[in-house]
Amino acid sequence: MMNNRPFPVLCAVAVSVAVFLGGCGRATSGAPLTSGDPASAQPSTMSPSPAGSEAGAVLQLAVYYLGEERFWREADGQPVDRIRLYREFHRLPAGDSGPQAKTTAAVAAMLDQASALDPDYSTGWPSSARVRQVRVDGDTVTVDLSGAATNSVGAEAAQQAVQQLIWTATAASGKPGVRLLLDGEPVSELWGHVAVGGVLRRAPALDTLAHVWLIDPQHGATVPRTFTIHVSGAVFESTIQIRVRQGDQTVNKRFVTVAGSAAGHFGEAKATLTLSPGTYTVEAYSESAVDGRPTFVDNHTITVG
């Protein structure tokens, strides 16, 4: 991942890099719930169960976060940073395990400023935001928030924060539509940047999600000496590089082919590694079509037991 720093206050820069086009599309432009999510499989390394959660179901729920990814423009070789969604799975108390309870738990975690396992990920919502109520009606989940009426972010971060909510709520509820309320009332525009009236749907994955995900192991995980790396991507030549570093030393490097990525879709791949006990940084990335530099880097620090 990129350095952990505030998101840029700008709209996405128009770029030409194969099929990877960023932009500030409307929150209501839709991708079906059943497509575009680059991995339905959950990682084997999970966050610990929350304290005091014995009374209700504790489920592994997907939570989406904002992060920066970098690539290089073909035209002039200059770096471009843009905001994309990354996903973690968290063990969360989900009440009766129904869609309403699961959505409430997942969105509450998404709003928590300190919930992301990876310090490179963060929420795009203000620290005052809270879940007031969640309701499920047919194919739509209504999320009512308080403390979210104002937010000091630019257009790109605002757009992706709304998608962060949509992707999290639809993953938890299994419903394709999201209706947003603020303090119990409908709202047509959020933070001066994003139209949020009516039923919102997932924007196209290529415009929204990071182009490389290191799905498993998750950041901070402890794994056995032999473990599986699970990656996803929509990348140049369908190839994701995997590099393992210990300090400044590279101890393992290989590549995997992500099926389907060549057609501009997300594909997945796995690789098995064996490492000596210790702490490592695992990096997943593509090599730039411009000059071979690492691009779309996602990295996690893990402990091999």
| Whether 69 and 115 share a structural domain | yes
Out of 186, 208, 230, a domain closes at: 208
Answer whether 287's CB lies under 8 Å from 293's CB.
Answer: yes
- What's the domain range around 175? 58-208
Q: Strand 294-304 vs strand 222-223: parallel, antiparallel, or unpaired?
A: parallel
Q: Do residues 72 and 202 share a domain?
A: yes
Same domain for 255 and 279? yes
State how far the Cα of 212 lies from the Cα of 256, in Å rounded to an integer.
12
Both 106 and 138 in a single domain? yes
Residue finishing a domain among 178, 208, 238: 208
CATH of the domain at 252: 2.60.40.10
> How do residues 222-271 score in pLDDT, each as one tens digit?
999 999 999 999 988 889 999 999 999 999 999 999 976 555 689 999 99
- On whether the CB atoms of residues 159 and 152 are closer than 8 A, the answer is no
264 vs 15, higher pLDDT: 264
199 and 268 inside one domain? no
- 203 and 243, same domain (yes or no): no
Q: DSSP characters for 192-233?
A: TTEE--S-B-PPPHHHHB-SEEEEESPTT-EE-SEEEEEEEE
On whether the CB atoms of residues 195 and 163 are closer than 8 A, the answer is no
d(CA 286, CA 152): 32
Q: What is the pLDDT of residues 192-210, one digit of tens each?
A: 999 999 999 999 999 999 9
The secondary structure element, H or E, covering residue 273 is strand 267-274
* 8: in domain: no
Q: Please give the torsion angle defined by the CA atoms of residues 212, 217, 219 and 225, in that order, rounded to the nearest 10 degrees.
A: -130
Structural domain includes residue 51: no
Shared domain for 71 and 172, answered yes or no, is yes
User: How many structural domains compose the chain?
Assistant: 2
* Whether 202 and 103 share a structural domain: yes
Residue range 44-94, pLDDT digits in tens = 665 555 554 455 789 999 999 999 999 988 888 889 999 999 999 999 999
Distance, C-alpha 122 to centroid of its chain: 10
201 in any annotated domain: yes
% of the chain beyond a pLDDT of 90: 72
Domain boundary among 208, 228, 260: 208
In this structure, are 291 and 254 located in the same domain? yes
